Every structure is written in C-alpha cells, then in structure tokens.
Homo-oligomer: A and B are copies of this chain.
C-alpha cells in the first residue's frame, strides 16, 4: 500500500552503527541472529547489513530479554505475530475479491 520503496527496510547499516543505535554489544546482536531473531543481509565480503526495521526489532528484543524472556520464546512470539499478520492480509484480500465480484473491476 505504501507508495515508498521505504528506507525503513533497506539493509544498509553495519553492525557497529547498529550497536550504537541499540546499545547492544555486537556479541549480542550476532547471537540473536544465531537464534533466528534477526536476519541481516551480507555485503560482498561478508559483512552484516541491517535495516532500520532490524534496529527496531533489536530494541524490542532487548526489552524482552530484560524482562527475562528467553530467545526461544521471543522467536515463538515473533512467528505467532507473523502468522496473525498473514491472516489479516488474507482476509483483506478476500474482502477485496468479493467487492470486485459484486461491483466489477474498476478500470482506468
């Protein structure tokens, strides 16, 4: 829906900057990746690249960790949230389909 390619999701931030931005050590950031909580891309030579979105994710993770939530649980929650979002999307699509079926597809 957004008309912007969105800066939010472009993977362009190196781990050092992410560390500054989140206050997390690089060790922690890499560990959360190992536990599949975060998915940076890699540059040609293998350096991790994160998005602003990833940075926000990491902050949420850090908050949960402070509350004592284990990485495994955080992961479960993330997967659950993702599934719910997919369902919502799906319902939306369904609705759109019905509208088109009754009122026809708008052209031009």
Does A62 interact with chain B (Cβ within 8 Å)? no
A13 lies within 8 A of B12 (CB): yes
> Which A1-55 residues have C-beta < 8 A from chain B?
7-8, 10, 12-14, 16-17, 20-21, 43, 49, 52
Q: Which residue of B lies closest to A11 (CB)?
A: B17
Q: Mark A48-67, 1 if CB is under 8 A from B, else 0.
A: 01001000000000000000
Smallest Cβ distance from A25 to chain B, in angstroms?
A: 15
Cα distance, A12 to B52, chains bound together (Å): 9
Oligomer: number of copies = 2
What band does the interface of chain A fall in when counting residues whose beta carbon is under 8 Å from B? 10 to 19
Q: How far is the CA of A8 from the CA of B8 in the complex (A)?
A: 8
- A20 to chain B: closest residue by CB: B43
Chain B residues within 8 Å of A43, by CB: 16-17, 20
Spell out A's residues near B (CB within 8 Å): 7-8, 10, 12-14, 16-17, 20-21, 43, 49, 52
